[in-house]
Structure 1
Amino acid sequence: MSERTVVLSKAIEDEEHLAAIEPDLTDEPDRRRRWPRIVGGLLAVALFVTGGLLFAEGRQLRDTPATANLALTDTEATTRVTGDVSNALGRIFSYGPDATALAKESAQQVLAGKALQQYAALFGQVEKQAADQKLTLTTHVVRAGVTWLTGTSARLLVFLDQVYERRGRPATTASAQLDVTAELRDGRWRIVEISSI
């Protein structure tokens, strides 16, 4: 092989090597078109993930115990339960020496469960005292506040003024505080538990 052939063969090899190293400029327009698609896809995934996280956070905020308490958000329902319970307490804790039957009958209509059992146990003694001492008790709800309310149950803090009158003696006034639990049954709020505070 002559020297000239060797040089020519070397030059061809170098040219092939350079061609292999240099990028193919014919692919560049395709690469430029692919970048917007890739970036768009990544943005779509990022937005989807962010939306999911924000939805989950929002749901946690909506599902807190405070938002489940209708006493904070439903004025109409709060007013209704306050009125029903206040009227009920006034009826069952007001009686005269000859009119205990009316209070007893009211208790059957507005009390249920444990509250009705407690009332029945105590009212037997009250009936006897009212007749023996000619006692009249008048109860007024001074203030009632709903501390917890759902669609079917409520808890209230109730402040009462009670006036005791015995024949031949001056009237005396006493105050009481009650923790009351009520349930909505057949469209009416009924007191199911009463405890003094």
Structure 2
Amino acid sequence: MSTETDAASQADAATATDAVTDADETEASEPKESKTAAGKTAAGKPKAGRTEAGETESPPTSGKMIRPWRILAIALAVGLIAAGILAFTERQRDASPSANRALVDAPATAKAVGDVSNALVKIFSYEHGDVAATEKAAAELLEGKAADDYRALFAQVKQQAPAHRLTLTTRVVRAGVSRMSGDTAHLLVFLDQVSTRNGKPAGGTAAAQLAVTARLHDGHWRITEIRSS
């Protein structure tokens, strides 16, 4: 009896020990599984603004952001295109026959060419014995910048012409109006000039090409600017 009792006691103790061990193992494994499940949940559904590593994540955007400098570049390009179109339109309008009378008004064009040609012959021709006549003609035929420039130039002629018996003869070879608008005309004039010194030819014929601006005043064209071209 004693042996059977001891065997039964040992069996019960072993069973109890196994039960305790299983319970301990179960308790030890449950937190891990729970933690793992929690980890999966956190990985599967991270909180807004956080990554799995705990770093801040930028909110998603629906499209590409346009940088301010790109907006400025686009606005500048549009402005330049608009300015170019406007300038082209102005040039086309100015070049139209209705804007340039030289293309449609033959009498006015001929009048401008005649007045300017005669004026250039008078102001660029002089005799050493009567430079005053040339100076007087210039005062009547020139105005504005042309008059100012001519006075400065002719001051030297008045000193040198009598001393060296200088003469200058000018003739117009060709003249044409490039543009006429309102009371203003722009002409291109080709001249030939022959000079003498002490009664002898001073070189050959000299050619000159002038861009002339003239203004209509009291029915006559007066020269306002002369430029070499």
TM-score normalised to structure 2 length: 0.57
Question: Bigger radius of gyration, 1 or 2?
Answer: 2
Going from structure 1 to structure 2, the CA distance change for 1:168 and 1:152 (only over 3 Å counts) comes to: closer
Residue in 2 aligned with 1:179? 211
Gaps of 5+ in 2: 1-89
1:189 aligns with 2:227: no
Going from structure 1 to structure 2, the CA distance change for 1:140 and 1:82 (only over 3 Å counts) comes to: same
Question: CA offset at residue 65 of structure 1?
Answer: 2.6
TM-score normalised to structure 1 length: 0.66
1:137 aligns with 2:168: yes
Identity between Structure 1 and Structure 2 (%): 54
CA RMSD of aligned residues (A): 1.7
Amino acid aligned to 1:164: S
Say which SS state the counterpart of residue 95 (structure 1) adopts: coil
- Misfit runs of 4+, over 3 Å: none
Going from structure 1 to structure 2, the CA distance change for 1:66 and 1:96 (only over 3 Å counts) comes to: same
Query: CA deviation digits over 1:169-188, x for unaligned, max 9?
Result: 33531010000000011221
Matches within 5 A, 1:1-197: 63-67=93-97, 68-171=99-202, 172-197=204-229
Amino acid aligned to 2:95: P
The answer to which structure, 1 or 2, has the higher relative contact order (CA under 8 A, 6+ apart) is 1
Amino acid aligned to 1:193: E
Amino acid aligned to 1:135: L
Query: CA deviation digits over 1:46-105, x for unaligned, max 9?
Result: xxxxxxxxxxxxxx9x95532211111111000000000000000001001011111100
Output the CA distance in 1 between the equivalents of 2:146 and 2:94: 30
Q: State how many pairs are aligned.
A: 137
